[in-house]
Structure 1
Amino acid sequence: MSDLVASIPVILLDGLLASGSSIISTLVGRSYSFTVINGNQYLRDLGVSTGFVTSPQGSFEHEIQLLDFYEYITKERAAVHDQVYTFLTGKIRLVKEPTLVHCTGYAAYALSKQLPVKHTFWLQATIDDRAERLLRKYQIRASKEQVTQLKQRLEEIDLHWEASLQKNLGISLHTVADAEHATVDTSNLTTELAFQKLASIDSFIDAYNSLAPLMPAYHEEWRRWRCLVCQLVVENNSVIAQCPRCHNADPDKFKDLD
């Protein structure tokens, strides 16, 4: 890894398949002005370009083939992971500023390859919730038998990722939360509520505030605001619309500290 890539701070937003990490990454990028690198979309495109996924997007068969592809690349770790690593580092090198990387199921890979990850957040949800979210996201109509099949494939992939994490990092998929991994359970939450849940945890607020001064426009535009309800201090380039901790949205209950 080049010195340039190593010097660029990265937030890694990872999670179980269909735990909501893709859309929440997009919301984080929009709300906090982070550049988002979507490694998960790269994997989906890779599945199609290699001929592993042949069914049309939006079909049940397409999603099952993608799950098969994810299982395959978990087993055939080295070759595909090198491609993912090259993709991520290439994008990070172009960005040259604090970046949010989203790459479902690849926390172990990213960390083992020593990407310049400063903060890691892990999303998880129940199998039922993830299967429902996957079908809803792509507006797929599925029979009961197909839903059962989808849940089974998700469970199988979880087991493969568990084995990969244990082998490469010595940690468990379901105990991945530690000093460097803040875990958010998105089960039974709308996208907006899941995003708010992530944004309200102390470790996310600390991560954001630590990286905000590194944003290009920080010294010209960014200011510190104190929520007068919960006393949280947040840095932003405009008046805070809502406190990420207590969700105070009263403009009269924020104080400009600068």
Structure 2
Amino acid sequence: MAPLGMAAVLSSHLCLLLLLLLLSSASHLAAAQYAEYSCNGTTSNFTSGSAFAASLDRLIASLPGDAASSPSLFALASAGSGPDGAAYGLALYRGDLMDRCACSACLADAFARLRRLCGAGRDATFYADLCTARYSGADFLARPDDNTPVINGMDANASTYPGWDARNATSRSFFISLVATLFGEMAMYGAYNSSRCLASAVMFINAQLPIVHGFAQCTPDLAPAQCWYCFQGIADLNRQWYDGREGGRISGVRCSFRYEGYC
């Protein structure tokens, strides 16, 4: 397929079908394998038996249940007080799924893994297919525009789109525009048209290219403009990181984006 012909298809928009829809719960539960974590390292370590350790224990004991019982499957909380005793946490389950037991289990597992993986670190984040968990000794809850840590989850084992050629500017621009178009439509819908700050989509270009499935979500406490701003940061990173692969994701605490060649 000639790159110039593909660019013409994109510019005409004649063969572009972009449908915003909710993806099935079963398909995502079957693919729940992704996991990334970050021991953020932004604050000092804590010691066993300290005020912070007690606050953190209370926090991560309550957050999974709080999120699972919330209508939005999302919870923010703090415990303790003072610069050395306060702990802050966030727990988010996928907004297009409503399995409250799975929500609680995913988050409890995420926090437990962080305690093992990050030891005495005061700041840690876990990203899974179905949930996001973070705790910190710093009040990141007061900074809803802070999406860090952001992790590049581009699938290193995924094949590239047919016709991808990073050395060819026209070909490269076309395929970058595929993912950008998908994300741009979802970002607009998720920020301004979804009460739960999320969107999922299926994009079909033509029979020679695979169907692309996408999902984007902000934490549901963000105002539409805040969610949109967060998504723009993801869009900037997508332009930097995208390299033609048929699957990938960018994970952040406040907003994230995923696309795959399968549902």
Under a length normalisation based on structure 1, what TM-score does the superposition of the two structures give? Answer: 0.27
Under a length normalisation based on structure 2, what TM-score does the superposition of the two structures give? Answer: 0.27
Higher helix proportion (structure 1 or 2): 1
Higher strand proportion (structure 1 or 2): 2
